[in-house]
Amino acid sequence: MTFGEQPAYLRVAGDLRKKIADGSLPPHTRLPSQARIREEYGVSDTVALEARKVLMAEGLVEGRSGSGTYVRERPVPRSVARSGYRPAGGATPFRQEQADAAVRGTWESSSEQAEAGAAIAERLAIQAGDRVMRTRYLFREAGEPMMLSTSWEPLAVTGRTPVMLPEEGPLGGMGVAERMRAIDVIVDNVTEEVGARPGLAEELHVLGGVPGHVVLVIQRTYYASGRAVETADVVIPADRYRVAYHLPVR
């Protein structure tokens, strides 16, 4: 194979992908069988199988038990807008995550005390095993699950204060910065690192999707005078949403 030449299975997958994109193979159409691919493209069974596996891994097709492999309906990606801080007038965690006053959504949450694992302890600059308040969120837009979030706050900061539980008390449901301000902790910086990975089975079960679907993962950490006071993982289905940042020019 010369430099730049694609393996046969990628060439076949590329042609089938093009047919899906241009509508020659519309959603819910059955993908040509392995035998049909072999005959049409003059390739081996192995090449035909590998080409189908590529399309499956890319989420373009899905297998239906006892029926075959079909082209998936491709959702039109919607924007998830983000900014460093909760916008003025937005008092809910959903607004904090969305940073978009036009969004209307609901969420479910649960909080529990836990011990910080090594990775979370490193992000919070505490010791592994230190106590944290862990809060899990499921956000919905028009009733459809669209985002998961898990946050961790050191109980050395919030323990035995009115804001120990993010969703309860006088400031329950407010943003991190406002809750911390109530206990004289002034948030002055936030970082977000965005990455992508295959969704975990339990994530895709809640968000909708099949094994192998990619999710966007945002690791967010709030700081007050250099001290991390909250860190969170935000998980978003990459095939349905795009993350748009709105950042002020200073």
Right CATH number for 8-71 from 1.20.1530.20, 1.10.10.10, 1.10.3720.10, 3.30.70.270?
1.10.10.10
Q: In the chain, helix, strand, coil percent, each to 5?
A: 25, 35, 40
* Pairwise CA distance, residues 38 & 48, whole Å: 6
pLDDT at position 84? 52
Tokens of 123: 């992000």
pLDDT at position 159? 96
Right CATH number for 78-245 from 3.40.50.300, 3.40.50.1390, 3.40.1410.10, 3.90.550.10?
3.40.1410.10
pLDDT at position 107? 86
Residues of the chain below pLDDT 50: 1-3, 86-93, 98-101
pLDDT at position 90? 44
DSSP assigned state of 30: B
pLDDT digits (tens, 9 = 90+) for 201-243: 899 889 987 677 889 999 999 999 999 999 999 999 998 888 8
pLDDT at position 19? 94
Residue-range domain boundaries for the chain = 8-71, 78-245
Q: How many CB atoms sit inside 10 A of residue 77's CB? A: 12
* Pairwise CA distance, residues 94 & 80, whole Å: 11
pLDDT at position 83? 66
